[in-house]
A and B are shown apart, each in its own frame.
Chain A
Amino acid sequence: MNKPRVLLIIPCFNEQESIEALLREISSLREGYSTVVVDDGSKDSTYEKAAQLSPTIRLLINLGIGGAVQTGIRYAATNGFDFCVQIDGDGQHPPSEISKLLNAHKESPCSIMIGSRYLLNDSFRSTLARRFGSKAIAWSLNTLFKRCNITDPTSGMRLMDRAAIEFFARSYPHDFPEPISLAWALQEGLTVRECAVQMRSRNNGQSSIAGWKPIAYMLRVLGYIVLARVVGFKSR
């Protein structure tokens, strides 16, 4: 059986400090992963640095994380990849953990395999508000959708199979994409599972979801999840 073609989608916005090291770390693994960096309209030299080491798509204007990830997914769909794995460009997701997602998928096939920070609840620590928000979103997904047992719905490290690639290439949320994409996928009948991964703290920059924002984020996401479940979701 042929080795599956795996594409790593790396959405970036002003990640000039970390993108080069991340791409070098990926190539040092010698796992044969293909990569595509999606530069979401960075103002710094992210594009120049990434383009030297990997195929890079520069979005003409900033579309936000949802637009950047969907661009990478459309690239995967067009180029016939079997799997794609989304990882952050800030170095929070160690490339060595990608094999855990692939192995977990091999053991228990599904459309989306999330890399969970909380499944083993060991080393990753975030703020109280963020953990509360994440727990509330996970609870709503697990309650509203059958066969769903998620602990980390906001994780940006996830593997998608061909069915998920084709689905998300057509429709991907642009606001709060990680948890809402799960609701859309579950509503569409795709299967979602998790495996435990280790994540690092950010090397550079600051999260855009800080202070009281996680609470507002949680409320809006909950609204979208309930709507997706109650009113339904029809892919274009």
Chain B
Amino acid sequence: MHSNLQTVVIISIFALCYLYYTARETARQQLDIYDLIMLSTVAIIPSAFVLFPRLAEHLARLAGVAFPFVIMFGALFAILFIFIHRLTAKIHRLERDNRLLIQEVSLLKANEMLDSKAHHQQRPQGASGEK
């Protein structure tokens, strides 16, 4: 089983463009290194199967799967699932931190206002030496 040149060229161009784009985003710190590694698999896995077509067959035989493409989609799905799971946990953590931060800022602002109110109320008593 061989991949034809057309497929190799198309997949390689896609993989290179995609890897360049994600690497550039990572360099700008729009993504972190972990995201780069996970997202890169979207380009690396199809490229590996196109460049080494027998790999899918061997893996399919090992896994007892009838169709080699199931292995490729299975691997992609597993990686994306891990990625999405991690992102969901991260969003919830950020949401919680955001909530605590909003509470903290609101409490600080309220305390500041109460302090200034108390200060204004105490001013007339200042003459008696009370603070």
Which residues of A pack against B, CB within 8 Å?
51, 55-61, 63, 67, 70-71, 74-75, 78, 174
Contact = CB atoms under 8 A, between A and B. Distances in A.
A71 B103 contact: yes
Nearest to B101: A60
Nearest to B114: A55
Interface in B83-131: 99, 102-103, 105-107, 109-110, 113-114
A75 B103 CA distance: 10
A56 B111 CA distance: 9
Q: Which 6 A-B pairs have the closest CB atoms?
A: A57-B110, A71-B103, A59-B106, A60-B102, A57-B106, A67-B99
Contacts of B105: 60
A11 B36 CA distance: 44
A57 B106 CA distance: 6
A67 B105 CA distance: 13
B103 A58 contact: no
Contacts of B113: 51
Given A58-B110, A67-B103, 20 more contacts: A56-B110, A57-B106, A57-B109, A57-B110, A58-B109, A59-B102, A59-B103, A59-B106, A60-B105, A61-B102, A63-B99, A63-B102, A70-B103, A71-B103, A71-B106, A71-B107, A74-B103, A75-B110, A78-B107, A174-B99
Contacts of A70: 103
A70 B103 CA distance: 8
Contacts of A74: 103, 107
Contacts of A59: 102-103, 106
A75 B106 CA distance: 10
Chain B interface size range: 10 to 19
A58 B107 contact: no
Contact of A55 (B99, B103, B106, B110): B110
Nearest to A70: B103
A24 B109 CA distance: 24
B8 to A, nearest CB: 48
A182 to B, nearest CB: 20
Nearest to B108: A57
Contacts of A60: 102, 105-106
A78 B108 CA distance: 11
A63 B110 CA distance: 16
B43 to A, nearest CB: 37
B106 A58 contact: yes
A62 to B, nearest CB: 10
A70 B107 CA distance: 11
A14 B105 CA distance: 21
A174 B92 CA distance: 12
A206 to B, nearest CB: 25
A55 to B, nearest CB: 5
Contacts of B110: 55-58, 75
A234 to B, nearest CB: 14
B111 to A, nearest CB: 8
A90 to B, nearest CB: 21
B57 to A, nearest CB: 42
Most A C-beta atoms less than 10 A away, residue of B99, B103, B109: B103
Nearest to B105: A60
A55 B121 CA distance: 14
